[in-house]
Chain A
């Protein structure tokens, strides 16, 4: 918090410069709106309810998709780390698939699922799953072998070993995977909604573009940034800090 004054001054500066440039009249206001107009659109979107509806729609798609990605990614990651034949086969495919941007799955999703929620959720899930898989794999691979030996020595077997030791021991890596997964999912859901043009924040962005409403476009982008920051910097950072310190890694 030492740099809070710097931060406030920095953002105040940006808004001031923005305001001055827009007042200079170099570009018409329907191309380069002032911060006030953007704020006005934000307020309008909030009172009108459209913005909240958009946020809620994007969020539930994201949560379902991310949930699938986390469930599937953890299972895949544990299997890859514990069964070498799966690692050599599925593992190599995972590395390849991970290099495909989630947006590149959109055409396939549209062809398979049509313009539906399921298609968007598919894009979100497939975009996030490999980050979870790879981090879970790394986490399980990096477990202190003494943890597993001690647990087996004390009689832990099968699912007891997986849920009692493997997953908690790998958790610091897994949470990094969830964080990356969230980042991919958030980008994925907005991107997919833009292309699907079917409700959600991404669709609002698309609609505002169609109406050449530049200030509303910027307002929605600010909302997207704000939510990204809040989840990343508050939810995940706090969870990560807590896990790291408890696990004695910090």
Chain B
């Protein structure tokens, strides 16, 4: 598995009032990488992730997946949305099985696969619940399980922990590392939170804004497991903060 972005450019707005959202993004992701895209809100990092998912198309440049150009969405690149995008008319179990059902897998096989990831995300007790009965943190666990059952080559996560309280987020940061180690997934993780990026990433790509480009790529080989608030993260967070600070932009 190899994922490459080459000069990915995207404009928003009408022809007369164009706004460049992405100013030529180049990025290489190798199998097993946990790449965190960090940048200020509205810098286009989520747009970039959507383009990788095939839910949006670039105006220029391309995404190459194992050398083939990405033109549409597909289950080898599964997205975890910020709000989870869980289906409220389905139980946790059925939400997690959704993609497998679309793929035409028989019931026993679906529930066997789902069980593995429900267990991994500690959701087994909640299999029969509907989403309105779940906390925000639980919903994100379900969203992650729903993505993992698809066994995607790349997991695309769009600020999945942004709406969580501090404690729940810290817990999920630890679990996310365990999931990554257990499943050996390649992960592209968008966040505006510097600490989240420092805790999770093997590689951190710092986005600048207007138009956004990758300002700096930082390799992060601090020992795991890491946790939010670790003193050892201090220096790395300093480097990310410095890279985020744009000399040309006031405030």
Contact = CB atoms under 8 A, between A and B. Distances in A.
Interface in A200-250: 245-248
Interface in B83-117: 83, 85, 87-90, 98-99, 101-103
Contacts, number: 65
A245 B132 CA distance: 8
B150 A154 contact: yes
A155 B74 CA distance: 6
A96 B87 CA distance: 35
A153 B89 contact: no
A7 interface: no
A247 B90 CA distance: 9
Given A149-B55, A154-B99, A164-B102, A246 B132 contact: yes
A168 interface: yes
Nearest to B54: A153
A6 interface: no
A169 B131 CA distance: 13
B78 A154 contact: yes
B79 A150 contact: yes
Contacts of A160: 102
Nearest to A168: B89
Contact of A152 (B73, B83, B101, B132): B73
Interface in A150-184: 150-157, 160, 164-165, 168-169, 171
Given A146-B83, A156-B102, 7 more contacts: A144-B85, A146-B85, A153-B74, A155-B150, A164-B101, A246-B130, A247-B89
Q: How large is the interface on A (under 10, 10 to 19, 20 to 34, 35 or more residues)?
A: 20 to 34
Which secondary structure characterizes the binding site on chain A? helix
A153 B73 CA distance: 5
Nearest to B89: A168
Interface string B171-198: 0000000000000000000000000000
Given A153-B75, A160-B102, A248 B85 contact: no
A23 B92 CA distance: 65
B240 interface: no
A169 B87 contact: yes
**Residues of B in contact with A, size category:** 20 to 34
A156 B73 CA distance: 10
A144 B85 CA distance: 8
A155 B130 contact: no
A147 interface: yes
Contacts of A157: 102
Given A153-B73, A155-B75, A246-B132, A147 B85 contact: yes
Contacts of A144: 85
Contacts of A149: 55, 73, 79, 81, 85
B205 interface: no
B200 interface: no
A248 B133 CA distance: 9
B53 interface: yes
Interface string B60-82: 00000000000001110111010
A160 B99 CA distance: 11
A144 B81 CA distance: 12
A147 B95 CA distance: 11
Contacts of A164: 98, 101-102
Given A146-B83, A245-B132, A246-B132, A154 B89 contact: no
Contacts of B103: 155
A134 B152 CA distance: 39
B227 to A, nearest CB: 30
B135 to A, nearest CB: 13
Given A153-B55, A153-B75, A147 B99 contact: no
18 contacts: A146-B83, A146-B85, A149-B79, A149-B81, A150-B81, A151-B98, A151-B102, A153-B55, A154-B78, A154-B98, A154-B99, A155-B150, A156-B102, A168-B90, A169-B87, A171-B89, A246-B132, A248-B131
A113 B233 CA distance: 81
